[in-house]
Amino acid sequence: VDSLEVSPANLMAPTTRAGKGSGVSADETLRDNSKLVWYFGFGSNMNPKVFGPTSGRDRKVNPKSTRTGKVPGWALRFNLKVFPLLEPGMGNIIQEDGAEVHGVAYQITENELDEIYSTEGGDVGTGYIIQPLDFLGYDGSRLTVKACYCPPDRPAVRRSLSLPSKRYITLLRDGARHWKLSTRPTARSSRRTLAVTRPSQSSKSI
């Protein structure tokens, strides 16, 4: 499956993070941190071992509520080279007509979102932004969620893609199974892209 070309001009406007040069004061930041937002986990953050109150990692957050569902018009791609030797292709999303990415919406505080953004590398120049998305819950609910997203013009995005590691794809599969998502991640390669799709005879699992 070839991915569509994605132009930064066609992307939704990202939410600006508070900090140097953002025009947001420290008092405003503290006030915003008390608000609840919906965060969209689509990669390893679907797995409770990685993300949530029982996580043994630095993403030990306490969601007030959770929803399972999908974001239409976006697709999951393994195109990040954050740890090239250990993880040749980590999860990211791209805009793609007719696609949908399934995952978990977590209701968390703004402060927790800031911490997630930091642990994803957003504060050290990897190129992540906070991207608002339209989420459709399996229960029929509609939410505006925020996801950590790396646009195609950023340094961390691969031009030639690699398969995800067995460790990483297992985290995604276990997370999808835990939340009973409508899709189970499988890796499928073609000339230009790698996608998480519904299992089929034409897709090869790893």
Whether 47 shows a pLDDT value over 90: the answer reads yes
Query: Which tokens sit at 62?
Result: 């306490």
Cβ atoms of residues 39 and 106 within 8 Å: yes
- Nearest 5°: phi and psi at 64? -80, -30
Cβ atoms of residues 103 and 42 within 8 Å: yes
Residue 46's Cβ-side half-sphere holds a number of Cα atoms within 13 Å equal to 28
The predicted-structure confidence for 49-64, as pLDDT tens digits, reads as follows 998 887 766 667 899 9
Whether 117 shows a pLDDT value over 80: the answer reads yes
Whether 202 shows a pLDDT value over 80: the answer reads no
In whole angstroms, give the CA distance from residue 59 to residue 111: 12
Give the range among 18-22, 31-35, 201-205 with minimum mean pLDDT.
201-205
Whether 28 shows a pLDDT value over 60: the answer reads no
The predicted-structure confidence for 120-148, as pLDDT tens digits, reads as follows 777 565 678 999 999 999 999 999 999 99
pTM score over 0.85: no
